[in-house]
Chain A
């Protein structure tokens, strides 16, 4: 066990956990931030995607000891009032079915648009390819990313 001071969604949080604990479980079990989802645990599905200093990362494969002073943003911290352009686009296109993968999809999309505000179809497909949606909402995801890009 060891104490870590983490910078999450703009506030500082302290946890006492095994240094190998993935950020995913620190968020879910210790900080009650359950919007970030567990899907595979091996960086293959994207359900656990958060931002680490603005980059989309798979929190299931990111030990808490590796974070240092980096800033973590989770779905709960993406916006104050569900008004991030990506969230708004997701609502406009009514993307989700079961909804389980969507926090990860949104975090991946938000990081993409941060870095590349006007992605081509191919760039969207490449960026979003690591996020599985078992319900098959891929077309709406792609359309919503384009809308967010336009409105962002």
Chain B
């Protein structure tokens, strides 16, 4: 048994109250369990211990958990109640999860993203469950007049063995609601977990397979109108003039007008990103009719001059953010990125004397890796329902971060935040994109203007071309070797349009005496946003491909060489602030080596390895490819992961499989290019997505047996796949793959893709 960390301010963390119809309610703080990283702290206020979630135990014994975290496919709606139920000692099926709507005065910090849901929920959920259980035990002790320590509980039933007394939780809940929240509560020893660590099916599975309305796009109310949008055709352009009369006489069309989602004096936050704050809305009686009007609309666009807007700072100090003018092209981006082969970047980390080491090197290996912009392409296109009246607003739609759009909604609608409710729809994919909720303001402004409930839906073309992409990146790695091929120094210089992908304190920093990391960025008016494992999703590919090449030059086995570096980082680390645990890192490499039988690949199979650490979890992957009928086929992928305690193994494996498929798809095909500000792809006919035929034939996911607190899984499986695939393809074709996506190069080698 372990006792809860007393540093937690329990009084503000837990609060008990009685339920109107009988039963108890225990409110607790979702995020009290862990400290945010500086990145997460962005936008988070000082008050950390707000009560933002609660459980209810009814008189019938039913347990309801209000989850503040929106669901976008990572299955938190199933795994969170498992954690609660285990400590509460109920059957997990007795715990119903209800999606808490976003009401700022009740809930704070509702956010899904950064693979943080489980990590942050772990301690609060366990504590809440254990506390509620203890209070029920105390209520039974008082009722039966026996010592609380003699009462046991299991599957929602309290029992005093000596006297033979028994009661269901529901019977004691009303009394428990009047009792003091205990000062101290004991959490279970992980070896006593009954539910955590067992596979449970998705709680929404039946609704999904029967096509129930779960998503924002499924919303419909009496009198609802349908809205389409028209945004500028290119980055760097804006609305010049609109001729609404060109569509007003069309069947079913009610209105067409320009909207602007930001007030001049509003200071935008980090997640307010909107490429085209000004666009055209068309409102009518049905989706099809507004889509027809969209095609017929007469509208003129013009080049936008350089502009700027107020950005709210971390400490309340607003700053001016600049949007450069111009119609940008990928060719120009590439040339500008190539300039940095010779131009210096900003030094982000320096250990030892890398310059001197390069001077005395017998051999220098230098390789440059690049990747294009990527569109998120969630299957559910941007959409939102809004019903704005004179004094209040109801919004329903997909968002990973409702709180972050509240400011813009309130400012633009001219309504106080308390009058705005955001209801959280299940999301048809997020991948980071739905942290940016401009669509909620767009829908609200449209509804306010027409004075009716509306549902706005983007077409796929609107969706793919409105920005907030994964940035385009480039990284150059250089290694200095002596005459015996010993590594003397490593230099990485990496940047992108418009941000650098470098995490300067991650591996291999800490393992190399002379190390230099430089970053640079090129400004752009093409908007970017979080995309599954931001930055890691590229830099892992570059770094892990380079290490593979380096190992080859040294004549070393690629896993052995990585382990050698990690041993150094573990036993005698270079520098400070190395933000990874070298031992756990090595652990996943060792596990994947064992599970894949690394040294004995099946005949005809070409394998590559890669490992990466991000979002608090460690993953190593081995990709096996074969060339069949002149076509590269991913035969199998082995993944080894250390994410601490695994809550729901089968759901975790599902996440792993999905991220691996996603990575292979983007490595082979993912690409969005620009010419004069116009994206070169607008729908799935041109934007190639991985499909059933290209998916790996098999994926094996193995978990390190761990007693560490759990960490996230949505992202960490993704970054390592790119290099594991590239390294495997190298074995198959004899060529290294420096430029993503790989398919065009493979085709040039006369392979079918």
User: A residues near B, CB below 8 A?
Assistant: 1, 17-18, 20-22, 25, 28-30, 32-42, 44-45, 47, 74-76, 78-79, 82, 87, 90-91, 94, 96-103, 106, 124-126, 128-142
Contact = CB atoms under 8 A, between A and B. Distances in A.
Contacts of A78: 210
A99 B378 contact: no
A97 B75 contact: yes
30 contacts: A18-B251, A22-B288, A25-B287, A29-B226, A32-B220, A34-B217, A37-B379, A40-B684, A42-B685, A44-B684, A78-B210, A90-B209, A91-B206, A94-B650, A98-B73, A98-B380, A98-B426, A98-B428, A98-B429, A100-B215, A101-B379, A134-B379, A135-B429, A135-B662, A136-B695, A137-B654, A138-B691, A139-B657, A139-B696, A139-B698
A34 B455 CA distance: 14
B396 to A, nearest CB: 14
Contacts of A37: 215, 217, 379-380, 428
Contacts of A103: 208-209, 211
B95 interface: no
Nearest to B455: A29
B656 to A, nearest CB: 10
Nearest to A22: B288
A22 B459 CA distance: 14
A40 B459 CA distance: 7
B286 A140 contact: no
B531 interface: no
B205 interface: yes
Contacts of A1: 251
A98 B75 CA distance: 8
Interface string B44-76: 000000000000000000000000000011110
A35 B122 CA distance: 34
B518 to A, nearest CB: 34
Nearest to A100: B428
Given A29-B226, A97-B75, A129-B693, A35 B205 contact: no
Most chain B beta-carbon contacts within 10 A, residue among A30, A76, A100, A102: A100
B162 to A, nearest CB: 43
A99 B379 CA distance: 9
Contact of B286 (A17, A35, A74, A136): A17
A73 B232 CA distance: 39
B555 to A, nearest CB: 36
A128 B692 contact: yes
B201 A94 contact: yes
Given A97-B73, A100-B429, A136-B657, A29 B288 contact: yes
B205 A96 contact: yes
Contacts of B684: 39-40, 42, 44-45, 132
A139 B211 contact: no
Interface in B189-237: 201-202, 204-206, 208-215, 217-218, 220, 226
B689 interface: yes
Interface in B378-434: 378-381, 426-431
A94 to B, nearest CB: 5
A124 B201 CA distance: 25
A126 B325 CA distance: 46
B665 interface: yes
B661 interface: yes
Contacts of B220: 29, 32, 34
Contacts of B489: none
Interface in B655-673: 655, 657-662, 665
A36 B73 CA distance: 18
A78 B685 CA distance: 29
B223 to A, nearest CB: 14
Given A44-B684, A106-B209, A136-B690, A99 B426 contact: yes
B651 interface: yes
Nearest to B690: A136
B205 A94 contact: yes
A18 B695 contact: no
A96 B286 CA distance: 30
B659 A133 contact: no
A124 B654 CA distance: 20
A72 to B, nearest CB: 14
Contacts of B380: 37, 39, 98, 100
Contacts of A137: 654, 657-658, 661
B699 interface: yes
B74 A91 contact: no
A34 B684 CA distance: 22
Contacts of A134: 377-379, 429, 431, 662, 689
Contacts of B650: 94
Task: Give the top 4 A-B pairs by smallest Cβ distance, nearest first.
Answer: A35-B211, A100-B428, A136-B661, A98-B73
Contacts of A33: 211
A129 B691 contact: yes
Interface in B519-573: none
A50 to B, nearest CB: 10
A40 B462 CA distance: 11
Nearest to B460: A40
Contacts of B695: 136, 138-139
Given A34-B220, A131-B692, 11 more contacts: A17-B288, A18-B292, A20-B288, A22-B288, A29-B288, A97-B75, A98-B429, A100-B428, A106-B209, A129-B693, A139-B661
Given A99-B208, A99-B426, A103-B211, A135 B683 contact: no
Most B C-beta atoms less than 10 A away, residue of A33, A98, A140? A98
Nearest to B376: A134
Nearest to B430: A98
A100 B426 CA distance: 9
A75 B691 contact: no
